[in-house]
Amino acid sequence: MSVALVQKNKIHPHKFALWVAIGSILMMFAGLTSAYVVKRSQANWTTFEIPVLFWYSTAVILLSSVTLYLATKAFKERRSGKYRLYLATSILLGVLFVVLQVLGFRNLWLQGLNLTVTVAYSFLYVIVGLHALHVIGGLVAMVVMYIKALSSKMKMYSPVPLEVMGTYWHFVDLLWVYLLLFLLMIR
């Protein structure tokens, strides 16, 4: 077996690190959702309605995954103009997702449903808030990629950083869908 063939089958170190991080994030959210299920049996547990803005934010984050896929495709085809356009669109959609989440929580807050009312609301704020932090991390990575795309010095066409960032973003996207479905089914 040739050395080139053996090396080709190895996973890139950045991709491996990403999968370890994704595993850790999954464990954290599995723990939080498990604790949510256990705490649900408490006497002071109350149910709540998911803000309608969370549904809009779901559509927005799903659309951002589509535009990020298109950005990756354009990058690999070396169509830099399309790459920058789709990447910028993904960033804007990611920011819109966060804004819709904040507005959804603002509506809950104005209804008096804050962290101190019951443990149910505390869990909602913690679970969704931690997800939002992960989205913001993905947005930072996208902004860095976009700044690099604007640089006239961009000569290297390695898709690995974009693939790592894209995999993370798609993961955060799917994680949100899971969390929303979880909150709808278990409330």
The pLDDT tens digits for 66-101 are 999 999 999 999 999 999 999 999 999 999 999 999
C-beta of residue 66 within 8 angstroms of C-beta of residue 93: no
pLDDT of 154 above 70: no
pLDDT band at 40 (very low <50, low <70, confident <90, very high): confident
Rounded CA gap, 1 and 8, in Å? Answer: 12
- Cα–Cα distances in Å, from 138 out to 110, 120, 125, 142, 148? 29, 27, 20, 6, 15
Rounded CA gap, 44 and 120, in Å? Answer: 9
Q: In CATH, what number does 14-186 get? A: 1.20.120.80
pLDDT of 183 above 90: no
- Give me the residue spans of the domains in the chain: 14-186
- Cα–Cα distances in Å, from 140 out to 83, 93, 95, 130, 143? 17, 13, 10, 16, 5
The pLDDT tens digits for 113-140 are 777 767 778 888 899 999 999 999 999 9
Q: What is the pLDDT of residue 12?
A: 83
Based on DSSP, count helices (H) and strands (E) in the chain, helices before strands.
6, 0
The pLDDT tens digits for 1-34 are 555 555 567 888 888 898 899 999 999 999 999 9
pLDDT of 187 above 70: no
